[in-house]
Amino acid sequence: MQHKTLLQFLKISSFLIFAGRAYQHLFWDAPYRSIFWDQQLLEPIITKLLALPWQDYVTNLETDRAIQLLTRSIGVLFALCALIAITYTETTKRWNKIILKTGSVGLVFLAFALTKEKFYHLSMFFEHSIQFGIPIALVYFVKYPNTKNLITYLKVCIALAFTCHGMYALGILYPIPANFVTMTLNILPVTEETAKHLLFIAGILDVLIAMGIFIPKMARISLWYACFWGFITALARILEGYHYGITAANTHQYLYLVIYRLPHGLAPLAVYWTCYLTPLRNVGFDSAKLKLH
């Protein structure tokens, strides 16, 4: 029963992740130009395989159209994955399984593109661990059901995402992202200095929560906070947009940012639900130990 409940959370979360990213790719843009316009990375390939000078490649409109076509194609792939994920089981047709696995790899590639765009900040990659980790978990744990391992896996994904998000908010290893400050200013009636102080506090809490979910006496409250903060930071994206006016255009521009971030709250909710709200019986291990670990 517990495993089935967890899988339902994984299906809903995977659907939201793929649907939000499909929305982004089909109507907006994605950071693939950071890869395909990287002269140091691709110039040897372009000049040798395509026999094109680099300048001709990057200024050719056909190159940009090809990147746009790739972006829209990945959007279609993600849309298909969203539909497959919500009903995914071990008996799902083979081709649908291949599509979902390909989409999961696509999310990892997207996280890499975002990381490259941010000058290879490792924190940027692992900040997306929930977004690419949950679809991978769905594929793996449908085939190899193990509730205890799945909960540990989800905790690791949550911890990585919150730690990396906290590192940006703290501004220690990396500068505080300008959009963090802007979003805080647009939502709360505070000064820029106060916004930075609030982000610093939020960063400390993020790191503490990432550790707390593995500590028995802190796990329950840590998961509660992670769930709350995951949903709040997702909804903050559209609240920021509404700072400029509640219009259909603003909703369209910011809604996808909310959709693919909602699993940041659903993942800790899934762990909390399984460990503390459902009766842990007949799962092949001590339920008390599951709560503590």
What's the confidence (pLDDT) of residue 243?
Answer: 85
- The structural domains of the chain, with segments of one domain joined by +, span 2-292
What's the confidence (pLDDT) of residue 182?
Answer: 94
Alpha carbon distance 145, 26 (integer Å): 34
Regions in the chain scoring below 50 on pLDDT? 280-288, 291-293
Those residues whose C-beta lies under 8 Å from the C-beta of residue 189, and which sit 6 or more positions away, are none
What's the confidence (pLDDT) of residue 279?
Answer: 57
What would the two tokens of residue 120 be? 């290879």
Amino acid identity, residue 55? Q
Those residues whose C-beta lies under 8 Å from the C-beta of residue 24, and which sit 6 or more positions away, are 30, 75, 256, 260
- C-alpha to C-alpha distances, 175 to 108, 118, 199, nearest whole angstrom: 24, 11, 12
Nearest to residue 5, comparing CAs of 216, 272, 221?
272
What's the confidence (pLDDT) of residue 173?
Answer: 82
Question: Do residues 113 and 101 lie in contact, with contact meaning Cβ atoms separated by under 8 Å?
Answer: no
What's the confidence (pLDDT) of residue 283?
Answer: 43
Question: Do residues 258 and 245 lie in contact, with contact meaning Cβ atoms separated by under 8 Å?
Answer: no
pLDDT in tens, 194-244: 999 999 999 999 999 999 999 999 999 999 999 999 999 999 999 998 988
